[in-house]
Every structure is written in C-alpha cells, then in structure tokens.
Amino acid sequence: MADGHTMTKVAKIIQSDPSRQFVVVSAPGKRFSGDNKVTDLLYDCHARLKAEGSCAGAFAEVRRRFESIVKELGLDFDISAVLDDTERRIDEEKSEEFTASRGEYLAGVVMARLLGAQFIDAADVVFFDENGAFDDKRSYAAIAAAVKGCSLAVFPGFYGTGADGKIKTFSRGGSDISGAIVARAVGASLYENWTDVSGVLACDPRIVDSPRRIKALSYKELRELSYMGANVLHSESIFPVRRANIPILIKNTFRPEDEGTYILPIAQYKPSGNVVTGIAGKKHFTVIFIEKSHMNSEVGFVRKVLSVLERFSISVEHIPSGIDTMSVVVESAHLDNFTLEQILESIKAEVEPDFMRVSENIALVATVGHGMSSSVGTSARLFKALAEAGINVKMIDQGSSELNIIVGVKDEDMEKCISAVYREFFGSN
C-alpha cells in the first residue's frame, strides 16, 4: 500500500478471485529505505499540532503522498477535498488517535475508488467499550449489517470508535486485528493476510540466512512466536478468527504465486513431522530472583510477590520457580532504577526473602512446536546445542503443555542462541 504501483498490485490480487469480497487496508508504508511510513508522519502531525497549534506544515507531506498515489493510479477523483477535510478535522479534534488513524482512512477511501467498491468507515462499525476493550458483539452485528447485500467492500483498519464517541486505535500493526474482526463478523471461510513476506519463517532471517518457511502452524504456535518477536502478524489478531475456527493464510503481496503459510485451528492442524516449528527471541527483560527456605509451604507467597508488581502496574511475563526459589520476569521498558528499587523494598517487606538478585539485559528465546511433546530428548538436544555454542543459560521456563521451552540468556547472546537452536533442529542451510 506504499504507493500507486503497490495499490495496483493489491487491486489485481483482489480482482483475481471473486470470493475476495471484504478488504481491510492499512496505511501506506515505506516506499524505499529511509522513507517514512504515513502513520509516523501523522504522529508527527499531532506533535506539531500540540507545539504550534496547527498540523499544516507536517500534514503537507501526507498530502503529497496521497496526491501522488491518486495520480499514479490515474483516478478521476478529487482527493484534495478529502485531504482538506482531514487536515481541518485533525486541527479540530486535537487527538493523537484520530490523527494516527487517518492513514488507514485515506487509504481505504482511495482503494474503494480504485476497486469500485463500497467504502465502510471503521468508525461506524468497530466499537470499544468504556474500558477501552474491543466490543465484539456490537461490532460484529454492525459489520454484518453494513455488508448485507454488498458484493465488495473496503474497510480501513487500525481504528474504531470508543465509548466516548471519539476515534480509538488498536496498537501499532492493528490493521491485522481489524482484518480478523471483519473475517469473523462476515463468517469468512478464510482470512488472508497479505504482507511483504512469503509466510512465517522458522526464525528471523536477519539472524539465520534463508530460514525454512513454515507451511502450516497452529494458532497457539503462532501466538507464542508472535509474542516473542516474530512480527509477521499482530499477536492479538488471532483471537477473533480462532473463536470461529477461521484459518489464516499469510501471503506475499509482491510474490502472490508463493504458497504462504496457513495458521490453523488445532482441529484442522496436522503436525509436519518436525520436532520444532519455529524459534523466536526478544531482548530487554529484567529478572528478579527470590530465594526463601520453605517458600513452597508458605501459603500466599507467590500472590504477595505478584501483588507488589500489581501495585506498580507492572505486568509479569514469566514466573519460573523451584521449591525455595522463584523468578519474576518483566520487560525492562516498564522499569526505571527508582521503580525497581521501590519494588525490591516492597517485596522484602511483604515476604522477607533470604536472598534476592536482579539480572538485567536478559533476552528470552522461545523454541516452539507441538512436536516437542511427543519427541523424547528435545530438551537435551536444545541445551546440548547451547552448551556447544558456549551460551550460558540464565533461566529456563517450560510450561506443562510442552508447547515451548523458553530460555533466558544475555541480550548479546540472543542471536547466537537462536542460530544454535535452528542448526540443531533444522540443520544448516
């Protein structure tokens, strides 16, 4: 969606299959290295609006991008009037979320014109409740009503309307969520997500050269990999379609002939025979290690520790534990030195530990796959590979589902860790 050329490709893909009836678009991205995404330009618009009282200067680049797209497409369409109205509303609303959402809105208007399709504003059919959570019942009913009798419709992704009647956005990448919501609302047989890669890869191609493409994986496997840094699809986009057992197909806009990757409900998922499906990692975690004799027999010990984190509004990622020890893993971005010291003092006051230690700059690497539960010696192979690579494991966490094994290593060892695990389970390319 970065320019008119890409939009033309998208239109051809949509028109090549009459069963593609409902289209959700994202804002134009980068056209080349060093270029700006339209959403980033719009966030800058809001910053300039706050500082100067007008977004005119910053919005000029957004205006040029969309005028260029319409010109490239050869559309007989007065985009200037739409852009004028958008700039005026940005100045009036003075809302960051409204401003950020206009990239998707404008892209949706243009794509609907290009396809000769009905444009349905997400503000009219996607709703959030008073707590800021997606209001599924109201939204699904509104979308279903809006598309009734419609053969082709275009929705802008990323945003909807809050309980206060103002525009509210999902987190960045939220057009994936919007696509899943529309798929669920219309009872789609398949949710296609078109991106710039040919499916989900077994690990990050910036770490391992040409890693294997995953032909199919389960919702659970994708959720684990997405959360740990595999960014092909927004991790929250799984939930709407999973509840309706709608498969997802990841495809490449620039290579539509490539097979892509299916994400399937467990009832439709057939293991490929690989022990491991994929490996992903994420840096910048802090681990608080707590030791106390007879911790396991002290009723409420874990609750007391977690209540301290709750008071500081810190979410907990993992809680590996032993008989007399437990570790609490949190994202370092949620902490500063002052907050961390306060948390440690509060834990001391609550549970009187024998010993506490903090490890910072920790990366978590997840090895994920349904095949791990039925394969003897998976853990042994993994830790042997890490030992041979000279990687010191700081933490181990494995759930009872045996879907994944998570290890904590130093931030600087994450890439080496992922490479070692990939070589062990997939071989060298």
What integer pLDDT is reported at residue 234 of this predicted model? Answer: 79
Q: Are residues 12 and 140 in the same domain?
A: yes
Q: Are residues 420 and 283 in the same domain?
A: yes
What integer pLDDT is reported at residue 400 of this predicted model? Answer: 61
What integer pLDDT is reported at residue 254 of this predicted model? Answer: 93
CATH of the domain at 386: 3.30.2130.10
CATH of the domain at 10: 3.40.1160.10
Q: How far apart are CA 330 and CA 314, in angstroms?
A: 7
Q: How far apart are CA 302 and CA 287, in angstroms?
A: 15
Q: Are residues 178 and 326 in the same domain?
A: no
Note every long-range contact of 380-383, with CB atoms under 8 Å and residues 24 or more positions apart, other chains counting. Answer: 381/424, 381/425, 382/407, 382/421, 382/424
H-state helical runs in 255-410: 301-311, 337-351, 378-388
Residue 201 resides in a domain: no
pLDDT tens for the 429 residues of the chain, in order: 789 999 999 999 999 999 999 999 999 999 999 999 999 999 999 999 999 888 888 899 999 999 999 999 999 999 999 999 999 999 999 999 999 999 999 999 999 999 999 999 999 999 999 999 999 999 999 999 999 999 999 999 999 999 999 999 998 888 999 999 999 999 999 999 999 889 999 999 999 999 999 999 998 898 888 888 777 787 788 889 988 999 999 999 999 999 999 999 887 888 777 899 999 999 999 999 999 999 988 999 999 999 999 999 999 988 988 899 999 999 999 898 889 999 999 999 999 999 999 999 999 999 999 888 778 889 999 999 999 999 999 988 876 667 889 999 999 999 999 999 999 999 875
Q: How far apart are CA 416 and CA 279, in angstroms?
A: 12
Residue 140 resides in a domain: yes
Identify the domain boundary among 134, 162, 188.
188
Residue 294 resides in a domain: yes
Burial class (CB in 10 A: 0-12, 13-18, 19+), 273: exposed
In this predicted model, what pLDDT tens digit does every residue of 27-79 receive, in sequence order? Answer: 999 999 999 999 999 999 999 999 988 888 889 999 999 999 999 999 999 99
> Which tokens sit at 130?
């008073």
CA distances from 384 to 189, 249, 366, 398, 417 (A): 43, 35, 16, 17, 12
DSSP-based helix, strand, coil % in the chain, nearest 5: 45, 20, 35
Predicted TM-score (pTM) of the model is 0.86
Residue whose tokens read 């077994």: 202
Residue 183 resides in a domain: yes
Total of domains in the chain: 2
Neighbours of 175 (CB within 10 A): 27
Residue 166 resides in a domain: yes
Q: Are residues 8 and 115 in the same domain?
A: yes
Q: Which domain holds residue 137?
A: 4-188
Residue 219 resides in a domain: no
Residue 306 resides in a domain: yes
Query: What's the mean per-residue pLDDT of the chain?
Result: 93
Q: How far apart are CA 343 and CA 337, in angstroms?
A: 10
Identify the domain boundary among 170, 188, 206.
188
Q: Are residues 154 and 303 in the same domain?
A: no
DSSP 393: P
Burial class (CB in 10 A: 0-12, 13-18, 19+), 294: exposed
Identify the domain boundary among 154, 173, 188.
188
Residue 251 resides in a domain: no
Which among 118, 16, 25, 18 has a CA at the least distance from the CA of 69?
A: 25
